[in-house]
Amino acid sequence: MLVQKYTLLPGTSYATPYYVAQSARPGPTAMIVAGIHGNETGSIQAARRLVRMLGTDELRLHTGRLVIVPTVHRRAYRQRIRGVPDLNRTFPRKAGQTAKHPLSAALFDTARRYRPSWYLDLHEANGLSQQNSKVLGQTLITDPGSRSVSAARKIIKGVNRTIRAKSQSFNLRLHELPGSSRTAAARILGARTVTVETGWSLPFSTRVQYQIDVVRRFLGEAGLTKS
Ligand SMILES: [Zn+2]
């Protein structure tokens, strides 16, 4: 399907592409962002691959619109660093507040323009949540009381059924993180927001596969794709 390419902060050192695919049938908008942390390469690769899959019709939207920002912080990505300051603490904490970084400001303005009903923020983290309840690797995170809790639970159940190495199972975490893109999109835009965290200890291709699988399940849940 047709994928339109745009640029966030064009002409600046933060310039980064984003992509919009639109179905002929009206429906909800989903937004997927990756690379808020530049060293989380599995999630960045997954988002880039999703863009290519739209272009080749391997991923087709049945209704609605999908916005993908695959590498939010390209400067940090080039150096494979998390980024300083941590971009995921610079998003507005409440309506009327402005973001504390040009990138988070531009990203949040874009989200505000597209009014996504679903917002997925792709990340990677240490450890395996199935082995240690304190770590975030292999988790879906959403805010307590979020409208996305039931979808997140359903998706975890579905993904875990396909996982043979049970130590790699996903678990749900409920956590409010003021300044993060997830909590900003939930609090200010009212979107159903979820952070996807794959575990860094797993092989690269496995992490990319998990990210893509989780995203595809959310798109089905949101009604954008037909399974
Ligand atoms: Zn991260």
Q: So what's the pLDDT on residue 197?
A: 98
The CA distances from residue 186 to 93, 110, 120, 142, in Å, are: 10, 15, 11, 9
Could you tell me the distance, in angstroms and rounded to a whole number, from the CA of residue 221 to the centre of ligand 1? Answer: 24
**183-207, pLDDT tens digit by residue?**
999 999 999 999 999 999 999 999 9
* Rg of the chain (C-alpha set): 16
- Comparing CA positions, the residue from 123, 125, 127, 92 lying closest to residue 109 is 92
**How many angstroms separate the alpha carbon of residue 97 from the centre of ligand 1?**
23
Token output for 101: 């970084």
Q: What is the mean pLDDT of the chain?
A: 97
Distance 32 CA to ligand 1 centre (A): 14
What is the C-alpha separation between 51 and 145, in angstroms, rounded?
A: 31
Average pLDDT for 115-123: 98
Residue 227 reports pLDDT greater than 80: no
The per-residue pLDDT for range 31-52, each reduced to its tens digit, is 999 999 999 999 999 999 999 9
What would the mean pLDDT of 23-32 be, rounded to a whole number?
A: 97
Tokens at residue 72, please? 């939010």
Mean pLDDT in residue range 73-85? 97
The CA 25 to ligand 1 mean position distance, Å, reads: 33
End-to-end CA distance of the chain: 17
Q: pLDDT over 70 for what percent of the chain?
A: 100
| Cα(35) to centroid(ligand 1), Å | 8
Local confidence band at 118 (pLDDT 50, 70, 90 cut-offs): very high
pLDDT of 108 reads 98
What is the 83 CA–ligand 1 centroid distance (Å)?
10
Segment 112-140 mean pLDDT: 98
Average confidence (pLDDT) over 102-108: 98
Domains of the chain, start order:
3-221 (3.40.630.10)
Strands 16-22 and 3-8: antiparallel
* Ligand 1 midpoint to CA 36 (Å): 7
**Ligand 1 centroid vs 225 CA: distance in angstroms?**
27
Give the torsion sign (CA, 179, 19, 65, 34): negative
pLDDT average, residue stretch 205-219: 98
Rounded to 10°, the helix 41-55/204-221 angle is 50
